[in-house]
Amino acid sequence: MRKDLPAGSVKESNAAKKRHSHEKIQASAAMLLRRDGLKGTSVRKVMAAAGFTGGGFYAHFPSKDTLVKDAFSCAIQQKRRSLARTLAHARGSSFLESFLRAYLTQDHRDNLGESCPYAALLSELPRASARMRARVREDFLHGVESFVQRMGEDGQAGAREKAIMALCLAFGTLAMSRTLAGFPESDELLRIAASTSTYWRVGK
């Protein structure tokens, strides 16, 4: 222990260092989950991406399942912050259409490492652990409620149903457009769904 630092300061410094390492591991896992999927995200790959050896993993997480759950929520929060900046002034009846246009873009389709984890993991989540699916449900319901609030008084009639429909349309369209990447239908899907108010009156 350094003699020029009180014991409390050393403990605080160690705690801050561990917290920083924990956040790096979680952020690396969030990126790998979206890029490589549940099966492709191993503890070894996560630790290597964060700049650590695999032996230090259990000092931060009790299991891979806990890491995956926390990384999923981390990825959700990252995407929400990104969308919040884009949709800062969108309110009321136009909010859902603004969301779809901001979400269903070529850049979002092609940038897997920073994309929405729902669309990235759509085919794998039904086979995830019960604890993981419970976390997905929790985050999804939080998203639905935040959409209802952003829609405001103009969207109170059936607001929850419209929010759920818009989210599921967004996730499914993005996942399918990735499946068709390289074919013209990939861009077509994004274009049609992003302008869906022409066919489905989300703001009415």
> Please, what are the domains in the chain?
7-198 (1.10.357.10)
* Residue of higher predicted confidence among 12 and 59: 59
**pLDDT exceeds cutoff 70 at 114:** yes
Residue carrying the six token digits 């964060």? 50
* pTM, two decimal places: 0.85
pLDDT tens-digit series, residues 125-173: 999 999 999 999 999 999 999 999 998 865 566 889 999 999 999 999 9
**pLDDT exceeds cutoff 70 at 1:** no
Q: For 41, phi and psi rounded to 5 degrees?
A: -105, 95
pLDDT given for residue 138 in this prediction: 95
Segment 5-33 mean pLDDT:
83
Mapping DSSP to helix (H, G, I), strand (E, B) and coil, where does residue 177 land? Answer: helix
**pLDDT exceeds cutoff 70 at 77:** yes
